[in-house]
């Protein structure tokens, strides 16, 4: 903690009506960076920062977990990212999601057998940045290859599509070819 950082820890006085922020954007960003670096929940981030300040003998306080949660959404550096520039190397896969509802409660409370409800989340991820660039949510009966088209429709420029063996087949190759003959396809065997 430099003297400059301590001096900028408090938010500058607000000129417009409304509540006064206690911590500067830099303080909130610092807390969120520590949170991401050490994989901490918000409450643990608050305690970790207080411990660091006590160890260093610094007289500033750490933002509380509620403030971190509320202010994180308003920071420009934390806001939604931009779509990566240029043609993308896209990784496609899906995962099952269990839908919880009254059936689960009835089964636990009364022992009644309830049919489980599932959905499939299909994702397209930019291989370079790890950013999710397209997604669809379907019923569990929908096959993975059926969602390649809707995923690719959400992306403007594609260089390569990589998927696992569940996507191996003519429908996937035809769908990718419709989006551009130049797109490379890599299907990993299962």
d(CA 93, CA 190): 13
Count of residues in the chain: 190
pTM of the prediction? 0.56
- What is the model's pLDDT at position 24? 87
- What is the model's pLDDT at position 143? 86
Closest C-alpha among 58, 66, 68, 56 to residue 25: 68
DSSP 99: E
- What is the model's pLDDT at position 123? 92
pLDDT by residue for the chain (190 residues), tens only, comes to: 778 878 888 888 777 776 667 888 888 888 888 888 888 898 999 999 999 989 988 888 899 988 888 888 877 665 455 667 778 899 999 988 877 666 666 676 776 665 667 889 999 998 888 888 889 999 888 888 899 999 999 988 899 999 988 888 899 899 999 998 899 999 887 6
C-alpha distances in angstroms, 167 versus 12, 148, 162? 54, 8, 9
Enter the tokens of residue 6.
Answer: 């301590």
Enter the tokens of residue 113.
Answer: 């057998």
Residue partners of 97: CB distance under 8 A and separation at least 6: 118, 119, 120, 121, 137
User: SS3 of 162, please?
Assistant: strand
d(CA 134, CA 84): 12
User: SS3 of 147, please?
Assistant: helix
In the chain, alpha helices (H): 3-7, 25-38, 42-56, 65-72, 102-110, 148-153, 170-179
Residue pair 56/1 in contact (Cβ under 8 Å)? The answer is yes
d(CA 185, CA 115): 38
């Amino acid at each position: 903690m430099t003297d400059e950082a301590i001096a900028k820890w408090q938010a500058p006085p607000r000129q417009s009506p409304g509540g006064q922020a206690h911590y500067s954007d830099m303080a909130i960003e610092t807390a969120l960076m520590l949170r991401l670096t050490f994989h901490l929940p918000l409450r643990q981030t608050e305690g970790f920062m207080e411990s660091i300040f006590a160890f260093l003998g610094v007289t500033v306080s750490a933002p509380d977990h509620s403030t971190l949660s509320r202010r994180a959404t308003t920071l420009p550096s934390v806001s939604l990212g931009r779509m990566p520039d240029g043609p993308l190397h896209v990784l496609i896969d899906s995962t099952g999601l269990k839908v919880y509802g009254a059936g689960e409660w009835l089964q636990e409370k009364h022992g009644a057998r309830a049919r489980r409800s599932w959905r499939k989340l299909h994702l397209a991820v930019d291989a370079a940045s790890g950013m999710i660039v397209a997604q669809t949510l379907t019923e569990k009966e929908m096959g993975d290859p059926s969602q390649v088209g809707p995923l690719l429709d959400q992306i403007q420029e594609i260089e390569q599509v990589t998927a696992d063996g569940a996507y191996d087949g003519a429908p996937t190759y035809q769908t990718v070819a419709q989006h551009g003959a130049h797109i490379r396809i890599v299907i990993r065997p299962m």
